[in-house]
Structures are given as structure tokens and as C-alpha cells.
Amino acid sequence: MYMIRHAFISRQAIPTAGRLSKSISFSNANNASSSHRLLRYNSSKSSQSPPLEEKTSKSSISSKEAGLQALRERIAKIPIENYRNFSIVAHIDHGKSTLSDRLLELTGVIQPGSNKQVLDRLDVERERGITIKAQTCSMIYRYQHQDYLLQLVDCPGHVDFRAEVSRSFAAVGGALLLVDASQGVQAQTVANFYLAYSMDLKLLPIINKIDLPHADIPKAVSQVEDFFELPVDDIVSVSAKTGQNVEKILPQIIEKIVPPVGSTADPLKMFIIDSWYDSFVGVIMLVRIVDGTVHKGMRIISAHTKKKYEIKEVGLMYPDKLPMEKLSAGQVAYIIPGMKNSSEALIGDTFMEIGKEVEPFPGFEESKPMVFVGAFPADGVEFNVLDERLNYLVLNDRSVTLQKETSNALGQGWRLGFLGSLHASVFKERLEKEYGASLIITTPTVPYKLIDRNGENQIITNPDDFPDLSAIGKGINCKYVDLQEPYVEIMSTFPDEYVGAVIQLCDNNRGIQKDLQYLNTGQVLIKYELPLSHLVSDFFGKLKSATRGFASLDYDDAGYKSSDIVKLELLVNGTSIDALSQVMHRSLVETTGREWVKKFKPYVKNHLFEVVIQARANNKIIGRETVKAKRKDVLQKLHAADQSRRKKLLAKQKEGKKKMKSIGRVSVDPDAYQSFLRR
């Protein structure tokens, strides 16, 4: 807003100066000497006083500061009883970001139509229409002659970020349950509803997109009543795109969501909702202040890491950073603690003032990655440069783990860990956009659990570290007694005409059916237990294809289960290519192994000796392809009748190729690995 007003004032200053110069020239047109003296006078005077545009600019800056100061004072006068912290629960593309924009416009935070998706700050969030990073924005709303501070915590909805969602829900007192009038209740909405309900949040049902010609409002209302058992009288039907009825939501928030509980007289106690990295100030933490106050210069300590920091700045998001003199209990705000390493900002960690330690929040658990990929620099790319860039990219996503590893085929690289398949897909897309062909990304893998004779667990994240099956079993010489793989419970909604196709897809992916419900709206809700390894292998894409794009999917962790798992390796002339190894169920080994060798054969160039490509599992070759050798015609100058000489030359050539094969080394271009992995 300030930038628009400043530009307007600057444009007004130019014609004013132009009119002034024209009037001076006109009044002195008959007196050249007077005009000359006036010009010299103006020149000498202009060297001593600032130009008109500079004065205008300074006055606009001072007016901006005065406006910000008035805003700070207005916020500081609002008591905690008039705070309302809320979130929005919705499925992908149900209009959560658009509704957020309308609420910010109604409260005067942004100009109408001047911004789109204000709380989606990452490019990938705008492109995919999903929320990845939790964001917040404060609003002031005048209701019944009182100021209310409304704090919207916009959190991700996907299960990959469930830990972040639960921390965001812990910072609010209620949520808007958003349902698309044209699509109805979807799987992700149901999953997030259960999470919000379990945390005792007040839920306000909102029916969105009522302006669409195919919107079925009665059906959406019926679904809200049947699924969530929420009062029909609380439902507000709106169009976030056009702004229709959106103004009815704000009074509902004030009247039905309870204010936060906390005391400014108690010692400081706050927890982290999210964090991101800024190249100028370091880590910026998004926190919920439960008790006490916090201000610049205060020294705080982490309950988990025990590290101490001195606060450099505190403030609210309005929608960008608005520095404040102090923050008080009940507020959701940002803090710059002077932290340089984002790995120290753990989601859910408790912070308190040094010397006034309090009991930290229970239930803190650091997020664990569930999907892993290998990343290796392509040929000709310097490792150290790429390592520095990758570490910088990881700074903005605390949940990504990064550690170095070495491959016998691809050299030095990294192993990246993610919270789930969507998280890995989003980060991989960012890597490819920013680094292009500079990186070779391996197939996603999941962690497997090995249980030894002493009952201790060992997690295997790299297929190359997977032990031989002779070490697993009940025998005396076996080191491990059990091998387990992670499972998830998926929940999907789709039209009832696709039930057979979806059941067949889940059964083909080793799924175990848990529930099947036919809804009165023509939809089916199905629950399956599915191996996580199948889920990350483009299961959602296959589900979309089976239902022509009408299915929605959400999933939750279902723990580990014992399974018959083996490692499938790809061999080139007897040498295993560790970057292409993969762990999978025994039932998939035969078909996958034969498919691998056929698809990898075109990427291997002809050598002077025969190259054998094999697929091996459990020390058994299950697939083979041969790349024929380049052959020199040693009989070209030989007389046709000299049979003994002919046999001698052919035998010598055969012996030479056999020797060359034993000592020769097959060179595979890194582009071949990249093309094979992207197949």
C-alpha cells in the first residue's frame, strides 16, 4: 500500500514543478536580465535546499512510519480476550488461499484485487495449488465498537506435513472447515477434520464456490451434516472468488471461537510452529506465545537443544513482517533469535527466558523422514559447489535430512530424506528447476527395519546397505530374526462407478482392505492398508488414471509389518551398480528384473568385448541381456582356401576378446543413468 501511495505522490510532484517553472518564465518574459538574475538565484538556492521530489519522498516516509506506529499502538491496546486464533481446513483446490485473500481484504490488510495467494509464498505452492509451509497473518476487525485481533494460521493440509499441521492446530482455538460445493467432502478434508476434532478445536463449516453453475449446495450441506455431525445453522455458504457472503464469516469467528488462554504476568513460554531461513538475518521462527511477554534483547533458551540466543527482533505478520516493541501471551508472531543454523529450530520445541525456566510442552517429537532419494552430480559438475547450494536449499526446509554418500557408479553424492511422497516430489521439482541436468536423482526408497536377536532395531535407508538374505532367519548363523517394511493406511473418496477399478488397483499393490462405505451422495469412501513403497511408486497417479481424475487420497502412518523383502540389483559385466539397486517384495522381483535389463540395454554402448547386463536377487540371476561386441574382420586379407590359418586367427581373436572382457571396464555415460532413472 505504501509503495502505491508513494508512487502516486511522486508522480504528482513532477507536474507541480513543471507549472512552477512555466509561471516563472512567463512573468519574466519581457525582462531578460531579470530572468537571468532569477535563474542564478534559483540555481544558488537549489544547491542549498533539497529538491521538491526529495521533500515529498521524505514526507511520505515519515507518514508511513507514523501510520505503522499508530498500527502498533492500536494492536498493543487489544486485550487477550479479544484475540481469535484460527486456521482453515480444506482439501487441495477447495479455495483455502482465495478465502484467505478475501478475509485480508475485508480487514484492510491488503488492497482489494492487489494480491493473489498472499500466504502461498513459494513458487511451487502457487503452481501446484497446495500449501507446504505454514504461514500466518494478523488482522484487526472492528466488531460492536471493539477492536479484535484475528490471527490466521495457514497450515499445510497434506499428511506428509501432519506434524506441522498438528503444531499449527495447537496454536489456534478453532478452524474453518471448507468444503467445495461442486466436489463435496474429500479425503483430505475428512483426515484433517479428525485431527482438528481430536485437538478439541471449534469447527465452523463453510461451503465455498457457490457461484459455480454445477455447484450442489444441498448435497454439500448434507455431507457436512452426515460426515462431521456439525449444526446446519452454523454453515455459511460463500464464494471466495467473488466475495459473496464472505463478510458473514468474521462475526462467526468472533462469536464462536474461544480466545486463547494465557497470562502476561507468568514467565515466558512459547513453542515453534515453523521456521525459515533469511540470508540477511538468519533463521526466522514462527511461534505461539502461551504465557509471558517477549521483546528485543531478551535472552532465551531452547528446552530441547539447551542452546541460548539473544532476540534481535520480534513482530507480527501483517502480511509482511511488522516489527513490534514486544509480544504478549496469545499472539502468533515471528521472532529473529540470531540463529544461524535452521537445524536448531525444531518444530514444536519450547523456548523460555534464561533464568526463568518453565515446564516444556509434552509430546515433542522430531519429525522422521520416510522417503529417501540419492542425488549425484552429473558429469563435469563440481561437487563442492553443488554441495554448498544443496545445503543452502535445505536451510529453508527443516524436515529434509541431508547426508553425504558415495556410489561406485556415480561417485560422491548425497542421500536426502523426506516426510513423504509429496514432500519428496515437491523438493525434487525444486532441485530440477534450480539445477536442471546438474543432478542425477535416484528412485525413491523407504526405510526398512531389521530386528536382531537382542530385539534391537536397525533402520536401513540405502538399498546398498541391505544385508544378504542368509543373514535373516531363524538359523544359528542368522544375525537378524525379522525384516519389516512401513505401511500406511490410505483413505480415498471417488464416484461409486469406479469401485471395481480402485479395489483391483489396491489389491495389485498388496493392499489390505479395512473399510468400504457407500455414501448417500453417490461417492464411496474406501480404506486400505498399503506398503509405503507402493505409495511412493506413483500410486496416486495410477489412482487418478483408474478413476479419470475423480479420486482424492489421504493417508496416515500404520507402522511396520513383517514382509518378504529382497534386494534387486542391476549388474553390468558382473559389477553391481549400487545407484540402481532397489528393495522390493519378492513377488515383484521377476517382472521388474526382466523389465530392468531390457530398458537399460539401449543405454550401454558397444565395446570391443561382449557386455552382459543382468538382474540379480537373492544371489539368483533372474534376467539377462547381451550387448554384442564390436568385431574386426581379421579374415579380410586371408585367402579363402587357407582353412588352418582361418581357424587360428579366429581362435586368437576369441582368446583376445575373452582376456579383454576379464580386464576391460565398461564405461556407462552418466546421462544413461539419468535417462534410465527418469524413465
Q: What is the DSSP string of 410-445?
A: TEEEEEEEESSHHHHHHHHHHHHHHHGGGEEEPPPB
Separation CA 343–CA 326 (nearest Å): 26
Separation CA 679–CA 369 (nearest Å): 25
Torsion of Cα atoms, 13 then 14 then 16 then 17, to 10°? 110
With residue 636 as reference, give the H or E element that holds it: none
pLDDT for position 60: 61
Question: What residue ranges of the chain have pLDDT lower than 70?
Answer: 1-61, 113-134, 156-164, 363-366, 379-381, 396-398, 432, 434-437, 469-471, 473-477, 521, 607-609, 630-642, 653-674, 677-679
The b-or-e profile of 513-530 (16+ CB within 10 A means b, else e) is eeeeeebebebbbbbbbb
| Peptide linkage before 319 cis (omega within 30 of 0) | yes
The answer to whether 92 is a known ligand-binding residue is yes
Helix (H, G, I), strand (E, B) or coil at 162: helix
The answer to whether 391 is a known ligand-binding residue is no
- Helices 499-508 and 539-546 pack at an angle, to 10 degrees, of 150
∠ Cα 372 374 380 (to 5°):
160
pLDDT for position 156: 64
∠ Cα 497 500 506 (to 5°):
125
Separation CA 405–CA 414 (nearest Å): 5
pLDDT for position 83: 95
The answer to whether 95 is a known ligand-binding residue is yes
The answer to whether 101 is a known ligand-binding residue is no
Torsion of Cα atoms, 539 then 544 then 546 then 549, to 10°? 170
Instruction: Cell 493473489: give the residue.
Output: 116
Helix (H, G, I), strand (E, B) or coil at 632: coil
The answer to whether 93 is a known ligand-binding residue is yes
Which residue, 380, 564, 553, 565, is CA-closest to 466?
A: 565
∠ Cα 59 63 68 (to 5°):
150
The answer to whether 97 is a known ligand-binding residue is yes
With residue 499 as reference, give the H or E element that holds it: helix 499-508
Which strands form 350-353's sheet, in the order they lie side by side? 308-310, 299-302, 350-353, 269-278, 282-291, 332-336, 313-317, 321-323
Separation CA 218–CA 90 (nearest Å): 19
CB atoms within 10 A of CB 206: 28
CB atoms within 10 A of CB 153: 25
Which residue(s) pair with 315 in the sheet? 323, 334
pLDDT for position 330: 93
Which residue, 237, 9, 6, 250, is CA-closest to 108?
A: 250
The answer to whether 564 is a known ligand-binding residue is no
Longest dimension (CA), the chain: 121
The answer to whether 606 is a known ligand-binding residue is no
pLDDT for position 505: 93
The answer to whether 208 is a known ligand-binding residue is yes
The answer to whether 91 is a known ligand-binding residue is yes
Burial of 402 (0-12, 13-18, 19+ CB in 10 A): middle
- The answer to whether 287 and 273 are in contact (CB under 8 A) is yes
Instruction: Cell 524436515: give the residue.
Output: 399
Instruction: Cell 581373436: give the residue.
Output: 653
The answer to whether 62 is a known ligand-binding residue is no
C-alpha cell at 12: 504528482
Cβ neighbours of residue 210 closer than 8 Å, sequence gap 6 or more = 181, 217, 237, 238, 239, 244, 245
Cα Rg, the chain, nearest whole Å: 33
Helix (H, G, I), strand (E, B) or coil at 123: helix
- The answer to whether 13 and 50 are in contact (CB under 8 A) is no
∠ Cα 10 14 20 (to 5°):
140
Separation CA 374–CA 377 (nearest Å): 10
Pairing between β-strand 565-572 and β-strand 611-617 as defined by DSSP bridges: antiparallel
DSSP summary character for residue 607: -
The answer to whether 209 is a known ligand-binding residue is yes
pTM over 0.95? The answer is: no
Separation CA 259–CA 82 (nearest Å): 7
- The answer to whether 472 and 478 are in contact (CB under 8 A) is yes
Which residue(s) pair with 416 in the sheet? 373, 402
pLDDT for position 150: 94
Separation CA 319–CA 316 (nearest Å): 8
